């Protein structure tokens, strides 16, 4: 049985190059395969590339429509609010089983507030009810620290199991906890795993997923083909499918508890 009710939001964070985009795209494909559609993919990295991993094109970002939507003359018969909604629809890429929205570059001050407010407002008005929202964030802790991704239902910290990675996990966890995210909503994903974990205390139990280093993923990158379309039996994709199943169960439980 597939889920219904309020979308379950998953944000992926972690240090640079750990596989946030790869895992986001594989997760989105897994939800689609499970029939948990539609999924909303949010690319919150100004250097947007989630669309490539999913095999779709992006023509416009929320950042790029900001100036224009607020400085341009509004077409006759439309108020500014309608116009923003209309432009949002244009920025939303619709594909088989998922939609994608790219936040784009932040405003001059490095603030995502505008794009973010716009996103939440327009999201609320979208007719389609998403089962899952997957947010691929930029490297570092900017989004977490500023609270720009709100309070997700699940924060996945993607990391390698080395000492530096583990320390980053600890820092992200601390900031997320300070922002009020419950400990059980913060989970670790080890990616590009080749065995062994550095002996650093990250103050957590087991990672929610261990994704192996996978030559199919590397090949997709070298051939510039969408990584999310690697064969289902490739080790990374199989591991992410298991992760998707765990998340579906979490979402089911949340819906039951909240009666949504």
Ligand X SMILES: Nc1ncnc2c1ncn2[C@@H]1O[C@H](COP(=O)(O)OP(=O)(O)OP(=O)(O)O)[C@@H](O)[C@H]1O
Per CB under 6 A, residues contacting ligand X are 14, 16-22, 45, 139, 191-192, 211, 213-214, 217-218, 221, 236
**Minimum distance, C-beta of residue 16 to ligand X, in the bound complex (Å):** 4
Pairing of strands 93-94, 98-102: antiparallel
Pairing of strands 98-102, 209-212: unpaired
Pairing of strands 209-212, 186-193: parallel
Q: Which is nearer to ligand X, 13 or 116 (CB)?
A: 13
- Closest of 226, 224, 248 to residue 237, by C-alpha: 226
Q: Which is nearer to ligand X, 17 or 150 (CB)?
A: 17
Query: Would you say 136 and 41 are in contact if contact means Cβ atoms under 8 Å apart?
Result: yes
Pairwise CA distance, residues 57 & 46, whole Å: 15
Q: Which is nearer to Mg ion, 149 or 251 (CB)?
A: 149
24 binds Mg ion (CB under 5 A): no
- Choose the binding region for Mg ion from 20-28, 119-127, 195-203, 240-248 (rule: CB under 5 A): 20-28
**Number of Cβ atoms within 10 Å of the Cβ of 41:** 28
Residue 99 interacting partner from ligand X, Mg ion, none (CB closer than 5 to 8 Å by kind): none
21 binds Mg ion (CB under 5 A): yes
**Minimum distance, C-beta of residue 4 to ligand X, in the bound complex (Å):** 30
**Minimum distance, C-beta of residue 216 to ligand X, in the bound complex (Å):** 8
Q: Which is nearer to Mg ion, 15 or 20 (CB)?
A: 20
- Closest of 203, 206, 143 to residue 176, by C-alpha: 143
**Minimum distance, C-beta of residue 117 to ligand X, in the bound complex (Å):** 24
228 binds Mg ion (CB under 5 A): no
**Minimum distance, C-beta of residue 10 to ligand X, in the bound complex (Å):** 15
**Minimum distance, C-beta of residue 158 to ligand X, in the bound complex (Å):** 6
Pairwise CA distance, residues 152 & 141, whole Å: 15
User: Which three-class secondary structure state does DSSP give residue 244?
Assistant: helix
**Minimum distance, C-beta of residue 110 to ligand X, in the bound complex (Å):** 17
- Choose the binding region for Mg ion from 12-20, 36-44, 72-80, 147-155 (rule: CB under 5 A): 12-20
Residue 236 interacting partner from ligand X, Mg ion, none (CB closer than 5 to 8 Å by kind): ligand X
Query: Would you say 112 and 103 are in contact if contact means Cβ atoms under 8 Å apart?
Result: yes
Residue 192 interacting partner from ligand X, Mg ion, none (CB closer than 5 to 8 Å by kind): ligand X
Pairwise CA distance, residues 133 & 139, whole Å: 19
Q: Which is nearer to Mg ion, 9 or 21 (CB)?
A: 21
Query: In Å, how far are 27, 48, 104, 111 from 219, measured between CA atoms?
Result: 19, 21, 27, 36
Query: Would you say 91 and 101 are in contact if contact means Cβ atoms under 8 Å apart?
Result: yes
- Closest of 173, 184, 136, 171 to residue 40, by C-alpha: 136
168 binds Mg ion (CB under 5 A): no
| Residues at the site binding Mg ion, with contacts judged by CB under 5 A | 20-21
């Amino acid at each position: 049985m597939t889920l219904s009710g309020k979308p379950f939001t998953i944000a992926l964070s972690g240090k640079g190059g750990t596989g946030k985009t790869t895992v986001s795209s594989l997760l989105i494909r897994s939800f689609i395969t499970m029939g948990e559609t539609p999924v909303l993919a949010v690319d919150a990295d100004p250097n947007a590339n989630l669309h490539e991993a999913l095999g779709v094109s992006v023509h416009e970002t929320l950042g790029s429509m900001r100036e224009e939507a607020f400085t341009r003359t509004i077409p006759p018969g439309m108020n500014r609010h309608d116009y923003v909604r209309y432009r949002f629809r244009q920025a939303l890429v619709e594909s088989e089983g998922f939609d994608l929205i790219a936040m784009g570059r932040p405003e001059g001050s490095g603030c995502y507030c505008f794009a973010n407010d716009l996103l939440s407002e327009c999201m609320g008005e979208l007719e389609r009810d998403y089962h899952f929202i997957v947010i691929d964030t930029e490297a570092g802790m900017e989004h977490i620290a500023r609270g720009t991704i709100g309070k997700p239902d699940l924060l996945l910290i993607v990391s390698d199991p080395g000492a530096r990675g583990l320390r980053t996990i600890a820092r992200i966890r601390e900031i997320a906890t300070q922002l009020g995210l419950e400990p059980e909503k913060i989970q670790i994903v080890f990616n590009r795993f080749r065995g062994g974990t550095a002996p650093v205390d990250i103050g957590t139990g087991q990672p929610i997923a261990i994704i192996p280093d996978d030559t199919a993923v590397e090949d997709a990158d070298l051939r510039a083909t969408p990584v999310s379309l690697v064969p289902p039996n490739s080790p990374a994709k199989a591991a992410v499918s298991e992760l998707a199943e765990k998340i579906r169960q979490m979402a089911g439980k949340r819906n039951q508890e909240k009666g949504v």
